[in-house]
Structure 1
């Protein structure tokens, strides 16, 4: 065998590879691999990792004893009074402990008559996390048909009712909603108070029925909320409202004629309601308007549910519109009182009369201008006057804006109306621009 030929074979292969251009590409591609291998081969300190022994230890640990702590901070909570509610049921719903509620009910300084809460009213209670009761307040009707702010508090472990003067502050509240299904249900779901719903229906009643609104229609309203010590206790007048129905916008703005009366007007300053054709007492002035005032006899904050006409004893009182007498009797608060049902859901009340007109009785039909009785000071009264109320579905509304003749605005009044309505227009525009339902207490 020729060994020399065997030796020259590798040499020829290398020479042939060096002369072929693709061979250089293969060498270049392989260099990183060789480099890695080389680096791995010369890496210092490479030792085989020894096996780690793992031992599992299970130990049951005792948890520290849980001690429940409750805040002793007092706070106020509100709950609307529903039909059939009792004070005990309301206290239970507000988280007041059963034993605490029973102690209050057994030692309450309130009379049973005042303890009867009115459906639609709001009960506010002061409690802590433990359900301990410290105070409550609510509005209730007295025998004179006015609303009394009842304030009851625990002092030194004893319950007492406060009859001191109470300062209530009016705060504007804004609500905006889109009707979804029924009108009443939509307004209630948006937490629009019953008093405001009644006012809205009456404000626009000469133009459309509020119940006729359809899904997709919108309601925006600005009204006063009466605050006592920072918490709402009652609802005041609607200040402005905007109803969009079928794409058409209806607006209402309240304008005060004087310190005791006012009415609602559209953006042009035209009265929204025509009202009755006459006043119950011709030529008399309104001495006390609708709303909150300090009662002159009881010296407590009261909701004056009507207007008072100052007039001498014996001044004739006439029916301002057609109707049917539903009540003609003597009561402790109203004295000699007559109630008249008019068309629709409207009722008028005439209190403190010195005497009734001849033949006045329940069921008697009256025509506008018929004699009802005479001004007096019977019942709970400080002097001769006519107490005149207007109720819609038994809910008192402002007679000066709902039933009494609405005077046109003079040029100077129109200027003042425009200044006030512009501010409310801005609020309504803001509510209109918000695509969702809002409820805001400023």
Structure 2
């Protein structure tokens, strides 16, 4: 480039060198300050935009343009007609409450947000209303109008815990005044799935999962021949259960029988399913069809603590070493004591240091002995079934506190109950009976669903 410049005539050489020098400085500027260059370019463009805007403002004045008016008629909404229709429509309010032992008609209706002196008077005087609302713990559903007057009130209950029907009391407002109707209707059984993980006890885990006590008691009975709930139930054990929920108009009133269950204790898993053939007595079986019923229950008291075992011990009253010929179960006064097997009551009465005693004969050679009872619930000669209550735990006779003294005797000789009660001679397998395998497959599916529900609750 320099050779080309110096080859030019002198009069052209100086301007060309000046241009080249300016271009070189521009190149150095662009290389050193690229951002400055972009800012300059942007400023120039904005300036150009401003110029364009200025040019755009030079258009014709909008005030001088022709104007055309367009009008469209609008239909007004019939708001008055709608408001009148709403006024004619009666508003109804619904609310539910649970009766309390301290309730009066006024306090109950007040919690239901009802202010109705006429309803209070009726609830006070009507015999059906007084009887239906006097018990605590009943669910009450009420319907009221916009003036907080009672339109209807309904409650449902069972006469006893084994009922298959329920009572429904309905109170309604009519043009002639209030009426009360008491009806009887059958309970409807629905299937309920649940489960829990044991941290302290089976009952505590079941309470946490809101499983009814009657279901928990059934669980302990079902697996009593396989798990010693007094000594062997481990922390972290888990269970799943499928049971009947007996409902009245969709409201659960009580639990029915357990349909299937699974208990995992440590590394061992136990499963059970209820099976009943038409015209036959139902029972619980493992999923391969083996009976879970032992001839003897593992213990005569549910969920108690074994306070003294079989053998020699220091007598708590006489402070001497004596043979303890049974097993003691510490439990609160009034706890049910159950017969561990079918039999006939051989004795029911008082026996000196043993206090109130019941003796049940199970065979010509075997009998069981229940002592220190607070109350005796059977009489001599009565036939009794396994699990039936013979009395309640107490501290009668020579006892330092409430407990059940339990003995097992063969031909009049004392045998350790913890050993003998584990002998099983239940019915034969039902795996080959029609319908059992289908029932077992259904139980597997239900227990899997209950297990998933339990795990989701734990998480």
TM-score w.r.t. length of structure 1: 0.54
Residue 198 of structure 1 contacts residue 392 of structure 1 at CA under 8 Å; is this kept in 2?
A: no
Q: List gaps (5 residues or longer) in structure 2.
A: 1-12, 58-88, 298-334, 351-355, 368-378, 393-424
**Aligned ranges for residues 4-403 of structure 1 at < 5 Å?**
15-19=17-21, 22-25=24-27, 30=37, 32=41, 35-36=44-45, 39=48, 42-45=51-54, 72-74=92-94, 77=96, 86=101, 88=103, 92=108, 95-96=111-112, 106-110=124-128, 117=135, 123-128=138-143, 132=150, 134-141=153-160, 149-155=166-172, 156=174, 157-158=177-178, 160=180, 162-164=182-184, 166-210=185-229, 213-259=233-279, 261-275=281-295, 345-346=337-338, 363=356, 365-368=358-361, 372-373=380-381, 390=388
How many Å apart are 1:172 and its aligned residue? 0.8
Instruction: Sort the Cα spacing of 1:191 and 1:263 in 2 relative to 1 into closer, same or farther, 3 A.
Output: same
How many Å apart are 1:221 and its aligned residue? 0.7
How many Å apart are 1:131 and its aligned residue? 9.4
| 1-structure distance, mates of 2:124, 2:435 | 55
- Bigger drift between 223-232 and 11-20 goes to 11-20
Aligned residue for 1:177, secondary structure, equals: strand
Residue 221 of structure 1 contacts residue 428 of structure 1 at CA under 8 Å; is this kept in 2?
A: yes
Rg comparison, structure with higher value: 2
Residue 347 of structure 2 contacts residue 380 of structure 2 at CA under 8 Å; is this kept in 1?
A: no
Aligned residue for 1:88, secondary structure, equals: coil
Deviations 1:100-134 (A, max 9, x none): 7965752353598887758xxx6332224769561
How many Å apart are 1:178 and its aligned residue? 2.7
How many Å apart are 1:346 and its aligned residue? 1.9
Residue 97 of structure 2 contacts residue 112 of structure 2 at CA under 8 Å; is this kept in 1?
A: no
How many Å apart are 1:179 and its aligned residue? 3.2
How many Å apart are 1:409 and its aligned residue? 3.3
Q: List gaps (5 residues or longer) in structure 1.
A: 1-10, 48-68, 278-342, 351-355, 376-385, 395-404
How many Å apart are 1:240 and its aligned residue? 0.5
Deviations 1:185-224 (A, max 9, x none): 3312221112212211222222224576455332211011
Instruction: Sort the Cα spacing of 1:152 and 1:416 in 2 relative to 1 into closer, same or farther, 3 A.
Output: same
| 2-structure distance, mates of 1:168, 1:252 | 25
Root-mean-square deviation over aligned CA pairs: 5.3
Match in the other structure for 1:54: none
How many Å apart are 1:417 and its aligned residue? 2.0
| 2-structure distance, mates of 1:78, 1:387 | 41
Instruction: Sort the Cα spacing of 1:205 and 1:105 in 2 relative to 1 into closer, same or farther, 3 A.
Output: farther
| 2-structure distance, mates of 1:392, 1:357 | 9
Residue 196 of structure 2 contacts residue 238 of structure 2 at CA under 8 Å; is this kept in 1?
A: yes
- Bigger drift between 172-181 and 218-227 goes to 172-181
Aligned residue for 1:423, secondary structure, equals: helix
| 1-structure distance, mates of 2:218, 2:51 | 94
Residue 128 of structure 2 contacts residue 182 of structure 2 at CA under 8 Å; is this kept in 1?
A: no
Match in the other structure for 1:317: none
